Structures are given as C-alpha cells and as structure tokens.
Chain A
Amino acid sequence: MSLRNTYWLALALACYALSAAGFATERAGLRGRLSQSASVLLGGGAALQTGDLLMRGLQAGNVPVTNFGQALIFLAWLTAIAGLVVIVRWRMPVIGVYVAPIVMVVLAVGAATIQTERLAMPQSLRSAWLPVHVTFALLGYALFVLAAIVSLVYLMYERRLKAKRPLLPTDERTPSLEKLDRISYRLLGWGFLMLSLAILTGAIWADAIWGHFWSWDPAETWTLLIWFLYAGLLESRLTVGWRGRRAATLTIAVFTVLVGSFVGLSLMAGGKHGGNFG
C-alpha cells in the first residue's frame, strides 16, 4: 500500500475524530465552532474516503473489498454517507454523536487490519456481480447500524421522558419519539431490502461460478438467520403493530447478533467469505 493511500485515510480518520468531538461537545451543551461544523467534518471525512476508495479501486480494477480490512473501510464510508443523508434529510444531528465515533472506529480497525498486499482475486471469480453483491451487503449493514443508533436515541430519550427527569439541553433539538420510531422503521426496511438483494446477487454469482446457488457456508447460514430475524421484526410491526420501545429494543438486539456474526465470521476467516475463494 502506497504512502499516499494511507495519507488519505489518516486525513479521513482525523476528520471523523474531529466530527465526533464536535458532536460530543454539542451534546454536552457547549455550542462552538467545532460543534457547528461537526456534520461538515463528517462529510469531509467521507469525501476524503471517496478519494481513497477511487484510487484503490482504480489500482485494483474492482471495488476494493477483497479482504476484511477493506470491507470495514468500505463499510465506514457507506455508514458515514448514509448517516449524513439521515442527518440532513430528516434533520437529525442528534445521531451524529454515535455515527461519527462508530465510523471512526470501524475505519481505524479496517485500516489497521488491511493487508498490505492486495489479495489476488482468481481470474475465474472476477465478475460484475462481486461489487454489486458486496455493495448491497455492506449498504444493508450500514443501514442496520443507523437503525440501531436511531433506536438507541429513541430508548434513551423515551426513558428521560418517562422518568420525567429534566431533559438535556440538546433535547430541545431531539426529534419526537414518533419521528425517531418512524425513521428507525424506514432504515430497517431499506436495510432489509439491501440484505435481500445481497443474498440474491450472491446466489446468482455463486451459481455462475460454482454451479449452485447455496452452499451453507457459515456466512451464508448466519446471514440467512439475520435475514429471518429482521423479517420477523418488520412483520411484527406490520401485523401486531409493535413499535416504540419494544421495536427499538428488538432492533438493537438483532443488530447485536449481526455484529457478533460479522466479527465472529471474520475472525474464523473460513469459507468463501473469509477470502478463501476455493
């Protein structure tokens, strides 16, 4: 990996760190120049990462997601962008205090574990489906990250309201419970769609290369389980009308399973998804 590449990433990381600090000071009720530019810094980090991804993508001739570290970097980028969309589109800067540090940590871990040599991708596996499959999967994860963050904000805000404790100075700008609940639901819906598309494109790709759609690879099994959990979550909302606290708690619970499987699988590093494209 060239020095220039790490230079871009380091700058992006610095932007995210400053953004996280800005959101944190804002939440502490200290409004200053840093807190006012927190969202801009988050965007700056994402822009720097875009440059980095473009460079590495051009080098590799593909979406640079052939190992775990790269996947994390890509995930950080998608989460930052999706987070910005939510912050701007739905005017929810309150989630920034979680989005920025999470993006920062994911990027830092990704940058630390990235393998210096590009994994040679067997010519036989190169396919237009790979970037599509991986992008859907990681975009789905990014949306689930945001859904969990919004749910967390919901739960903490709800607790303050129910306890009738004095609200935080920043609660003046916290969206209503109804809105937080609705946004979390939307993010879940979009995340679920992305996850479904990831499974579908993965199956098509597998069929093209190995001749079968499904091989019960650990990642496939776990992903299917998570898909069912999210499906159940959405279903309970549609039919029984579970929402509010219960929905938020379940969103966070399922997300925990998702994180566990993601980390666990990458540590095991077996199967096709671990980089052994056997």
Chain B
Amino acid sequence: MRETIFISGVNHRATPVAVRERLSYAESEIVAALARLKQAAPAIHEVALISTCNRVEIMGVTTAGEQAHQQATGFLADDRGVEAAAFASSLYHHEADAAVRHLFRVGASLDSMVVGEPQILGQLKNAYAQAAEAGTTGLVLHRAFHKAFSVAKRVRKATLIGHGSVSVSSAAVGLAGKIFDTLADKTVMLIGAGQMAELTARSLKRLGVQSLLITSRTFDHAVALARKLDGTAVPFDGFQPYLKLADIVIGSIAAPKPVLGPEEFEGVIRERRYRPVLLLDLGVPRNFDERLNSMENVYLYDIDDLSAVVNESIGDREREAEKAEGIVRLEVESFLKWLNELELVPAIRDIRSSVEQLRELELDRHRAWLLTLAPAERERIESLTRGLVNKLLHRILSGIREGRAGGSDGIYTAEIARRLLSADLAISGRSLIEDDGDEDEEL
C-alpha cells in the first residue's frame, strides 16, 4: 500500500473560537497527547499535532487516508471531550498534494488570520519539535516540516508579505518610528485609559519607551493602568502642564469636544523648543483638534488615518500573498517529486534484488565450468554478467523514474516491473529443468 501525507483539523476560517478553544492543546500537553494518539490511531504511521489559537490540526502519514481521518478526528473528540457534531461540519481533510500545500501555506503565513503574521512559523517549529520529542515523526514528516520551514523563509525573503502595519497599534508604533530615531528617551502620555490606548502604550514600551504618564477622567482608572504598565498617574484636572514632557500623546477619552486645540498647544511647542510631537487620536469624537496637524513639528493622526495605514498594508500583503502562492506551488511540486521517488524505493529494491538473484543463479549453474578457468577469465565473465544486468536495470529504473512507461504513476509501473521480474524468477527456476538444451543461448 502506498503511503500518503494527510492533514485533518479545524481553523479560524470555518470554526468559531468557542469550538477551537475546546479542541486546543497547551504546549505542555502535546507530547503526551501524541503518545495517546499513536495508540488510538493504528492507521496513522507518523504524526504531529499543530495547536495554535487559530488552528488545531493533526498531520500524519498513512496508507489509508479515510481511515486515518476517522481515527484522527475521533481521537480529537474523545481526547478533548468535545462531541464530534460540534466541529464535524467545519472539519477539513487534505491528502497528498493538498495536504503538503496546506502545510506549506500555513508555514508561509498564507493561511493566517492576518496574512504574513510572523508567529506561525515559530508555532509550527514547536509542533515539529514536540512530535520529534514524542518520537512520532519519521522520514516523511521530517522532510515535510523542514521543507515547510524553508518555504516560509523563501517567501519572507522573496515577497513583502510581512511588511507594513496591520493593526492600529502597530500602525501607531510604525509612525513613531518614522518620526523618532529612538524611543528610549521619549515620554508617552495617555489621555484616557482606553483599551486601544493601552495596547499602543504596551507596544511602545516594548520598543524602549521608559517614561509613561497616564491621565483619565476617573483617576482610579489612571492609577490602575499606571500600576499595570509601570507608569505615573496624573490627575485629569491638571494634566496640561505635563504635556510639554510628552513626545507621544495618545488620546482615547470619551468627550464631545476636543480636549486639545492649537491655542493651548502653541505654548507647549515653544516650551518644548520645537521638539517633534506625535499625537495619536484614537477617540471618536476626536480628542485633538485637526488644526494641530498644521503646526510645526506636530504630527497628528486620527483613527481614520491609522486605519488607512492598516488597510493599505493589508492590501499590500494580499498582493504579495499572490506571489507567495506561486512559490508554494513550485515547492509542493518539488516535494511531491521527492515523495514519489521515496515511494518507489521498496519496489526498486525488489527489482534490483530479483535481477541480481537471477544473475547469481545463472553463474551458479556454471560454477563447475567456471572453476576450470583461469582467475582472470573468471573475473572477466563475472564483470560481463554484472555489466549486462546493470545496463538492463538502468533502463528499467530510469524508465520508471521518468515515467517513460506511460501514465503518470511511477509506483504503478514500478509495481508491474517488480511483479514481472519476480515472476520471471519463478519461470526461470522452472526453465532450468525444461530448457536444458538452450543454455548456450541463455548465456
């Protein structure tokens, strides 16, 4: 039976998070789960388990695709205690080239919720490492995973799939990087402790911002967030004097009118000695007067400006994803070629040994005569038979590899050749008795 690669699982496209979270595995559970899976699913020879917030997938090697699929999904339902009906309809199952393509697309971040996001490759590497640790990987999965990693690397290098900002907070951080050379000596001020403001402040802190001021209409909120982010809370009534310290001001307050206009900001600018200020207005209605943008060294972005950056990047990534699909297509082809040749290995081994056995049998028949010859002559005959056999094998094997026998399936041709040659052996065994007189011709 021929071995094939398969993937069964669910992902963010068709399965809601409420189901995905019940099916998912923590990183520490995977090695043990793989051992259970190996027990529960005898149809699966090699196996790996990929579990991230966007997907739970069982990938393996089997000779019986449908059976493997049943066992894999049955295991998932039993092991996680989720009734199969909850995810049966959104379940997918890929085999052979479709499975390889799926794996490569996942690794290259083409199947991600945010196309081009970089985490998936690390998660895939983890899944592979855990399967290797559990001892459930074999030749095919090793090769498939390594190929997936190299495809991902190639896609990153050859396309701009990971470029641009695809969330409001990353767009804000990207803008900060265009205006400021370093964030380490900058001060960020939050006016309003909204969730998006918090997210943005976190990203800025990750990039080196040390000093953080937080003001909020409810002082307790400011204090709570300041404690969480290691910042300083400032009372809302008296936040104006602190403005001159802030290089980045993030507004996310619910207010009917702007809390900051050009009149009061004029003085701030002068006190700052015209050092640039980035104003990020995440509020609706807007927190900062739009005229601020025309002030010298003041850069104001409201929520629409930031969303425009995000949409632009998403559009760019989609265009780049098309290029990436082309790369994946080529790599799937080359991987399948390797896999097909791998399938041929047992058949080729049999063909070789059949023919070699035949040769030895014939030499055996003439052993008595051969022993009467001088060693040099014996050697000569030995090499003559070997040469004949090798030429014959070369024609047959290269014909199988290159598909010269017609039909696309190398394994089928190989199987025919294998059977014919082993049958040949049986016949030639009989012929020893029947065609005794023809031995001169046979030699």
Instruction: Give Cα A242–Cα B177 distance, bound, in whole angstroms.
Output: 22
**A182 contacts chain B at the CB level, 8 A cutoff:** yes
- On whether the beta carbons of B308 and A164 are closer than 8 Å, the reply is yes
**B275 contacts chain A at the CB level, 8 A cutoff:** yes
- On whether the beta carbons of B297 and A244 are closer than 8 Å, the reply is yes
Given the interface pairs A172-B163, A176-B177, A245-B296, the reply to whether A164 lies near B305 with Cβ below 8 Å is yes
Instruction: Give Cα A177–Cα B277 distance, bound, in whole angstroms.
Output: 11
Please name all residues of chain B whose beta carbon is closer than 8 Å to the beta carbon of A242 when the two chains form the complex: 274
- On whether the beta carbons of A241 and B273 are closer than 8 Å, the reply is yes
**A243 contacts chain B at the CB level, 8 A cutoff:** yes
Nearest residue in B to A179 (C-beta to C-beta)?
A: B181
Please name all residues of chain B whose beta carbon is closer than 8 Å to the beta carbon of A172 when the two chains form the complex: 163
Instruction: Give Cα A246–Cα B298 distance, bound, in whole angstroms.
Output: 13
**A89 contacts chain B at the CB level, 8 A cutoff:** no
Nearest residue in B to A176 (C-beta to C-beta)?
A: B181
**A32 contacts chain B at the CB level, 8 A cutoff:** no
Please name all residues of chain B whose beta carbon is closer than 8 Å to the beta carbon of A245 when the two chains form the complex: 296-297
- On whether the beta carbons of B276 and A177 are closer than 8 Å, the reply is yes
Instruction: Give Cα A172–Cα B305 distance, bound, in whole angstroms.
Output: 18
Instruction: Give Cα A244–Cα B181 distance, bound, in whole angstroms.
Output: 13
**B180 contacts chain A at the CB level, 8 A cutoff:** yes
Q: Which of A161, A171, A174 has the most CB of B within 10 A?
A: A161
**A211 contacts chain B at the CB level, 8 A cutoff:** no
Nearest residue in B to A241 (C-beta to C-beta)?
A: B273
Interface size on B, residues (CB 8 A): 22
Given the interface pairs A161-B299, A245-B297, the reply to whether A177 lies near B275 with Cβ below 8 Å is no
**B428 contacts chain A at the CB level, 8 A cutoff:** no
**B301 contacts chain A at the CB level, 8 A cutoff:** yes
**B179 contacts chain A at the CB level, 8 A cutoff:** yes
Please name all residues of chain A whose beta carbon is closer than 8 Å to the beta carbon of B299 when the two chains form the complex: 161-162
Instruction: Give Cα A175–Cα B178 distance, bound, in whole angstroms.
Output: 7
Interface 0/1 of B257-277, CB less than 8 Å to A: 000000000000000111110
Given the interface pairs A241-B273, A241-B274, A246-B296, the reply to whether A178 lies near B163 with Cβ below 8 Å is no
Interface size on A, residues (CB 8 A): 20
**B230 contacts chain A at the CB level, 8 A cutoff:** no
Instruction: Give Cα A165–Cα B374 distance, bound, in whole angstroms.
Output: 91
Instruction: Give Cα A195–Cα B275 distance, bound, in whole angstroms.
Output: 28
**B360 contacts chain A at the CB level, 8 A cutoff:** no
List residues of B (55-103) whose CB comes within 8 Å of A's CBs.
none
Please name all residues of chain B whose beta carbon is closer than 8 Å to the beta carbon of A176 when the two chains form the complex: 177-181
Please name all residues of chain B whose beta carbon is closer than 8 Å to the beta carbon of A241 when the two chains form the complex: 272-275
Nearest residue in B to A177 (C-beta to C-beta)?
A: B179
**A278 contacts chain B at the CB level, 8 A cutoff:** no
- On whether the beta carbons of B275 and A164 are closer than 8 Å, the reply is no
B179, B274, B296, B312: the one within 8 Å of A161 (CB):
B179
**A240 contacts chain B at the CB level, 8 A cutoff:** yes
**A61 contacts chain B at the CB level, 8 A cutoff:** no
Instruction: Give Cα A162–Cα B275 distance, bound, in whole angstroms.
Output: 16
A161, A240, A243, A244: the one within 8 Å of B178 (CB):
A161
Please name all residues of chain A whose beta carbon is closer than 8 Å to the beta carbon of B308 when the two chains form the complex: 164
| Main DSSP-derived SS at the A contact region | helix
- On whether the beta carbons of A244 and B276 are closer than 8 Å, the reply is yes
CB distance from A197 to the nearest CB of B (A): 29
**B150 contacts chain A at the CB level, 8 A cutoff:** no
Instruction: Give Cα A245–Cα B179 distance, bound, in whole angstroms.
Output: 12
Please name all residues of chain B whose beta carbon is closer than 8 Å to the beta carbon of A240 when the two chains form the complex: 273-274
Instruction: Give Cα A203–Cα B273 distance, bound, in whole angstroms.
Output: 37
Nearest residue in B to A245 (C-beta to C-beta)?
A: B296
Interface 0/1 of A244-255, CB less than 8 Å to B: 111000000000
CB distance from B262 to the nearest CB of A (A): 15
List residues of A (151-176) whose CB comes within 8 Å of B's CBs.
161-162, 164, 166, 171-172, 174-176
Given the interface pairs A164-B301, A164-B305, the reply to whether A178 lies near B274 with Cβ below 8 Å is no
Please name all residues of chain A whose beta carbon is closer than 8 Å to the beta carbon of B179 when the two chains form the complex: 161, 176-178
- On whether the beta carbons of A166 and B181 are closer than 8 Å, the reply is no
**B293 contacts chain A at the CB level, 8 A cutoff:** yes
Instruction: Give Cα A4–Cα B177 distance, bound, in whole angstroms.
Output: 50
CB distance from A249 to the nearest CB of B (A): 10
Nearest residue in B to A167 (C-beta to C-beta)?
A: B178
Instruction: Give Cα A177–Cα B179 distance, bound, in whole angstroms.
Output: 5
Please name all residues of chain B whose beta carbon is closer than 8 Å to the beta carbon of A246 when the two chains form the complex: 274, 296
CB distance from A171 to the nearest CB of B (A): 8
A166, A171, A182, A243: the one within 8 Å of B297 (CB):
A243
CB distance from B115 to the nearest CB of A (A): 18
- On whether the beta carbons of A178 and B312 are closer than 8 Å, the reply is no
Instruction: Give Cα A215–Cα B308 distance, bound, in whole angstroms.
Output: 61
CB distance from A31 to the nearest CB of B (A): 11
List residues of A (11-67) whose CB comes within 8 Å of B's CBs.
none
Please name all residues of chain B whose beta carbon is closer than 8 Å to the beta carbon of A174 when the two chains form the complex: 178
- On whether the beta carbons of A178 and B276 are closer than 8 Å, the reply is yes
Instruction: Give Cα A160–Cα B294 distance, bound, in whole angstroms.
Output: 13
List residues of A (172-206) whose CB comes within 8 Å of B's CBs.
172, 174-179, 182
Please name all residues of chain B whose beta carbon is closer than 8 Å to the beta carbon of A243 when the two chains form the complex: 273-275, 297
Please name all residues of chain A whose beta carbon is closer than 8 Å to the beta carbon of B163 when the two chains form the complex: 172
Q: Which of B175, B177, B179, B180 has the most CB of A within 10 A?
A: B179
Please name all residues of chain A whose beta carbon is closer than 8 Å to the beta carbon of B272 when the two chains form the complex: 241
Instruction: Give Cα A162–Cα B295 distance, bound, in whole angstroms.
Output: 10
Interface 0/1 of A220-258, CB less than 8 Å to B: 000000000000000000001111111000000000000
22 example contacts (A-B, Cβ-Cβ < 8 A) are as follows A162-B294, A162-B299, A164-B301, A164-B305, A166-B312, A171-B178, A176-B179, A176-B180, A177-B178, A177-B276, A178-B180, A178-B182, A179-B181, A241-B274, A241-B275, A242-B274, A243-B297, A244-B274, A244-B276, A245-B296, A245-B297, A246-B274
A interface list, Cβ under 8 A from B: 161-162, 164, 166, 171-172, 174-179, 182, 240-246
If A162-B299, A176-B177, A243-B274 are given as contacts, then 11 extra A-B residue pairs at C-beta distance below 8 Å, sorted by A number, are A161-B179, A176-B181, A177-B178, A177-B180, A178-B181, A178-B182, A241-B274, A241-B275, A243-B275, A243-B297, A244-B297
